[in-house]
Amino acid sequence: MMNTMLLNTPQSLTVLYQDKDLVAINKPSGLLVHRSPIDKRETRFAVQELRNQLGQHVYPLHRLDKPTSGVLVFALSSEVARFYGQQFQEHEVRKTYLALVRGYGPDQLSIDHALKDEADDYAGIAGGGEAKQALTHVQCLQKFAIPLTVDRYPTTRLSLMQCQPITGRKHQLRRHLKYIGHPIVGDSRHGKGLLNRACEGYFGAGRLWLACTQMVLTQADGSELKINAPLEADFAKLLLGLQEGVSSHAEHISFPRSAWEC
């Protein structure tokens, strides 16, 4: 049952769910989960800030990239961390993301494309080696066309994609969407720089437009725990703007707003 005793001040992390075992926050884009040698200048970390906010130690059960927003879950004891950590390890946790991508994405597709490890200093992974199985299910929720000239195209096509990674490879969604020719807008590593800069100017905001909006875990009694996160204000505002200004020439697929307002 959700604990509503915690109040979120402007400086606080937004708590989505808390019980005696777990706490889940809505991680903002731009916040690191923990210290990383990749970004030594950062002084804010979700682990440290949540620990200070709750006044107790927390154990992150998974990771979200710094620019990705959404559901981030922590255990409140080492025993609980081991229990739920096994579910993440065995890919039993169901995750749902929303991504704004380049082009008109496929209505539905299962992307079964093996990925090599990307270097991860924090986890002690050198990168490379043999490619490992990676599977992602994607579904197009809505398609847009905006009057933005990029390269030789006078109109820019975009899609809102719902993504469900079945495996958990590093940058899996970003790499899989690039693989099918629909990189996420704002992805500085796997996306298109020209498109990213043009969209940032057009939208008046720049970030990786990727968010984890739902996570489903299995509790000790076998029941499901479903944790939902609303989109950050900038992401929600962007989608509303796209909906209001959608071109009459775009292929428009309607969908319930609850799909992304959670």
Nearest Cα to 142, choosing from 234, 228, 235, 260? 260
pLDDT of residue 38: 64
pLDDT value, residue 39: 64
Q: What is the pLDDT of residue 127?
A: 56
**Which CATH number is 15-261 given?**
3.30.2350.10
98 compared with 262, residue with greater pLDDT: 98
| pTM of the shown model | 0.86
pLDDT tens digits, residue range 61-88? Answer: 999 999 999 999 999 999 999 999 999 9
Do the beta carbons of residue 179 and residue 111 sit within 8 Å? yes
Q: Could you report the per-residue pLDDT of 202-254, keeping only the tens digit for each?
A: 999 999 999 999 999 999 999 999 999 999 999 999 999 998 875 333 344 33
Out of 65, 112, 121, 151, the active site residue is 65
Question: What digits encode the pLDDT tens for the residues 212-225?
Answer: 999 999 999 999 99
117 labelled catalytic = no
Q: Domain-by-domain residue ranges, the chain? A: 15-261
